[in-house]
Structure 1
Amino acid sequence: MVQRQRSKEIRMLKKTLALVMFAVLSVSAFAAQAKTVEIEGMNSLKFSKENITVKPGEEVTIKLTNTTDLPESAMAHNWILLAADADAQAVDEAAAQAKDNDYVPKDMSDQILAHTGLVAGGETDEVTFTAPEEPGDYEYICTFPGHLAAGMKGTLTVKEG
């Protein structure tokens, strides 16, 4: 009788441990997923989100959607995250010569941390990247001609907690 009770207790303990392990693994998998930020590129030449906060080294997905009804030649958008010391104006000027590369200048790749492709009205593109380890503010811009000059930019802030 005592042995049977002991066997039952051991089985219960094993089931409990299995459930605890499942819970721990589930939480770990959830925590490892990328933070997704949905941003709209608007006719007002603004991003719908001009401030994003992430943790150092966090995996981030930016999902850019263009909400315009205008033709692509008039109102397309991209999202480009710049290095901390990048010159946004210089990147934008170089981008004007990079139409065939979605206005992303290949020769300035050392100043660009991540970018989407160019999206026309109703289109969406996304990019997943690892946030910089160095806390601070990182500018993001749209390099479709004239958009940065009109104020289409924002700040990705990297900070603990």
Structure 2
Amino acid sequence: RDPNRDHEHGRIYRITNPSRPLSEHVAIAGEPIPVLLEALEHPINGIRRRARVELSGRDTDEVISSAKEWISGFDPASEADAHHILEGLWLHQQHNVIDRDLLDLVLNSPVPHARIAARTVQIMWDHSPAAARSSGSEAAVRGEGAAAPEMAAMPEPDADAVVIRTVTEEMRYDVDTFQVSPGQEVKLWFENHDYLPHNIVIGEPGSFEAIGAAADALGADGFGVQFIPESEDVLVASDLLEHNAHQVITFTAPMEPGVYDVLCTFPGHRGTMNARMEVRE
């Protein structure tokens, strides 16, 4: 049971599978740091979250020292160990301790989800005041005094292009509708300013849910195909773009007038990250 549950109000129903045993209780509050680090390996996210919360209140030097020893026991090339090392990276981020060597390990993880999470940490650290401080303990801040790497300037879109950008940390495109003519040669300029990876997919009218569900069904294999499902409903699609990347896509607009669905097919994004392409004279 969650120790934060309300003991005075409401009613809690527990639904269980009678053929499976209940999860065993894992003690977190007040446990020593090595025990909490071991809890970060637990398969249940709620237990890992409670361990992170508990570790956030412990002495930074003690936590980081123990974490480094804990992380050293994992193989960076192993998919089975990838999430454990990622937890170690998040622990450093939580305690405002910049460790570029650890970051590089996770950026080169064999697991795509871990690499994406690491890129988010990289962006945060590149813009963190800790990276620019010139005083303090090296044990508290790795890479102290190092300047954040310069970001390449985004080129200006072509004058004749339909320009669509992502809005940083708002999970949406900056336009909700754009119009083209039947048979028009279209140049679509797509920019991703968000910290998460995004794509842009144009589908047949009414295909929004079918395309999205097919992309979700790809699972981890989706990274290899940019989360673009094999579907006759997909008319045009960009690659899965990382932060501060852009792509130019050229295509011929459909001859059939109508409202065509536009969406990001990365799992969990399409609910707010969608638009419409209107084909009309």
**CA deviation profile, 1:89-144 (whole Å, cap 9, x unmatched):** 221122121221111012x1x10110111111000012111111111110100011
Equivalences for 1:6-155 in 2 at 5 Å?
A: 35-42=160-167, 43-68=169-194, 70=195, 75-86=196-207, 88-96=208-216, 97=218, 98-106=222-230, 108=231, 110-149=232-271, 151-155=272-276
SS of the residue 1:84 aligns to: coil
Q: CA deviation at 1:85?
A: 4.2
Q: How many residues align?
A: 118
Highest RCO, 1 vs 2 (Cα 8 Å, sep ≥ 6): 1
Structure 1 residue 154: Cα displacement: 0.5
The residue matched to 1:138 in structure 2 has which SS?
strand
TM value normalised by structure 1: 0.69
Quote how far apart the aligned CAs of 1:62 are.
1.1
Structure 1: tracts of 5 or more residues without a match = 1-33
CA separation of 1:99/1:93 partners in 2, compared to 1, >3 Å: closer, same or farther?
farther
The CA distance in 2 between the partners of 1:122 and 1:35, in whole Å, is: 21
Distance (Å, rounded) in 1 between the aligned partners of 2:262 and 2:247: 15
C-alpha distance in 2 between matches for 1:129 and 1:89: 23
**Which amino acid in structure 2 is aligned with residue 93 of structure 1?**
A
Structure 1 segments of 4 or more deviating over 3 A?
none
**SS where residue 173 of structure 2 aligns?**
coil
Q: For 1:135, give the aligned amino acid.
A: P
2-structure distance, mates of 1:50, 1:79: 12
TM-score (norm 2): 0.40
CA contact (8 A) 1:35 1:59 kept: no
Q: 1: distance between equivalents of 2:160 and 2:260?
A: 17
Which letter does structure 2 place at the counterpart of 1:89? E
2:275 pairs with 1:157 = no
Q: How far apart, CA to CA, are the structure 2 residues paired with 1:85 and 1:139?
A: 7
Aligned residue for 2:209, secondary structure, equals helix
What do you get for the CA RMSD once the two structures are aligned? 1.5
Please list every run of 5 or more consecutive structure 2 residues that lacks an aligned counterpart in the other structure. 1-158
